[in-house]
Amino acid sequence: MPSVAMDDLTAALSSSFAVSKEPNSTAAPHPRLAQYKSKYSVLEQSERRRRFLDLQKTKRLNYVNHARRLADGDWTGPDSDGEDGMEKQEDGEREQEGSTEEEGMEIERRKLPKHYANQLMLSEWLVDVPPDLDTDWLMVVCPVGKRSLIVASKGSTAAYTKSGYCVSRFPSLLPGGNRHNSAMGKDYTILDCIYSEVDRTYYILDVMCWRGHPVYDCPTEFRFYWLQSKVQETEGLSEIAKRNPFRFVSLQSTDCTAESIQKALAAEYSFSVDGLLFYHRQTHYTPGSTPLVGWLRPYMVTDILGMEVPVGPLTAKPEYASQQLQQILEHKQASSEVRPANRSGGYELEYLSTPGQHTHTNLFRMSAQGPISPHG
């Protein structure tokens, strides 16, 4: 992404940056890379992972209705998760259970959001490295860009920011994305993408619905497999044309063995790399931040994952890293300690993706953090 003028950065950071209750939000520095004070204590990330996995086994949401509402833009009527009638009862039960931990309550209160804001599944900093990382997790190398919700429906394709603002409308070869393949509104597609303005490309990170078939409640491993197969079946999707003015390219995933991570960090990419997302293989696609998706910048792999990495552009430590890495050694926080959070709800300054090299140091000084990730 082109460098942003320092005046704009200063104004944006001073007016928009806030600290939130979201534990381990990527809008804040990595908890093990900086010292921060917070009012909020949180459950250990590993414990919250366990709770999220348990919850998704029992809590069934109406994703068919939810996907249709996103496609139609119609949010009238009862909540799309069909839980209006149960909410008051659940709240009453929680009040009676005075000892219930606040963090557990936050997990259980999750409902599907209305409208186009907060629809994307966001990561946390990878703080507690899972012991099953090499067997139960997948990694995706992510390009620099703006996180986008893509909805192809009724013969048109719309791109929304994480906060729900429609930034662009155009035809595409996605099912439902242009008037020649909309099938009377029955076909619609919903994707989680990273948009690279430089490449005029939407890099597809995840799929929530394809041709009217929602896969929100399918495991990551299946969603990634299904995404790859569907993209390969759709001719012309990765080429710019009149009916497809932007490329759509699916990102590849790899397992998280040391060998696979090292190979990924040594590889060359057609895009500028921003960071690494780690997905638990069994997690469903759940809007909002989740400990079942972790985020690291490539240079952090050695210090956080404790593995050797190949010497190269991706693993080279930027200027601001020396101060952060020194803080790792001096102020390494136990996972039970207070963690930084982001009062804005976990949504970063989405247009401030990884800044240009000459702005790195100033950004760190101004905001007391490294570059801001679009992956949330």
Number of Cβ atoms within 10 Å of the Cβ of 174: 28
Q: What is the pLDDT of residue 62?
A: 82
Instruction: Quick: pLDDT tens for 331-361.
Output: 334 333 333 333 333 323 222 233 344 333 3
Residue-wise pLDDT for 287-305, tens only, equals: 999 999 999 989 989 988 9
Both tokens of 348, joined, read: 């970063």
Each residue's pLDDT tens digit, 212-255: 999 999 999 999 999 999 999 999 999 999 999 999 999 999 99
DSSP 159: E
Q: Tell me what pLDDT residue 28 has.
A: 58
What's the average model confidence in pLDDT over 169-184? 86
Confidence class for position 5, pLDDT limits 50, 70, 90: very low
The label of the residue with tokens 């996972």 reads 335
pLDDT, the chain, mean = 74
Above pLDDT 90, what percent of the chain? 45
pLDDT band at 101 (very low <50, low <70, confident <90, very high): very low
pLDDT at 13 over 80: no
Whole-number Å distance between alpha carbons of 221 and 223: 6
Confidence at residue 318, expressed as pLDDT on a 0 to 100 scale:
80
Phi/psi class of residue 155: alpha, beta or left (left: φ > 0; alpha: ψ in -120 to 50)? left
Phi, psi (deg, nearest 5) at residue 145 = 170, -170
CA distance 348 to 371: 11
pLDDT average, residue stretch 242-271: 95
* Residue closest to 350 by CA, chosen among 170, 152, 140, 197: 197
Residue of 234, 227, 224, 228 lying closest to 178 (CA atoms): 234
pLDDT of residue 327: 53
Residue-level length of the chain? 376
The pLDDT-based confidence of 183 (bands split at 50, 70, 90) is low
Q: Residue 245: its pLDDT value, please?
A: 96
Torsion of CA 181, 185, 186, 188, to 10 degrees: 70
Question: Which residues fall within 8 angstroms of residue 332, CB to CB, at 6 or more apart?
Answer: 32
Per mean pLDDT, which of 17-21, 34-38, 182-186, 205-209 is the most reliable?
Answer: 205-209
How far is residue 49's CA from residue 200's CA, in Å, rounded to a whole number?
36
DSSP H or E stretch at residue 169 = strand 166-170
Q: How far apart are CA 238 and CA 249, in angstroms?
A: 6
pLDDT in tens, 106-139: 454 556 777 888 999 999 888 888 999 999 999 9
**Within 10 A of 47 (CB to CB), how many other CB atoms are there?**
17
If pLDDT is split at 50, 70 and 90, which confidence band does 371 have?
very low
Model confidence at 260: pLDDT above 80: yes
- Site of tokens 């439902």: 176
- Asked whether the beta carbons of 63 and 333 are under 8 A apart, the reply is no
Residue 105, pLDDT > 60, answer no
Closest C-alpha to 346, from 7, 11, 19? 19
CA distance 212 to 204: 17
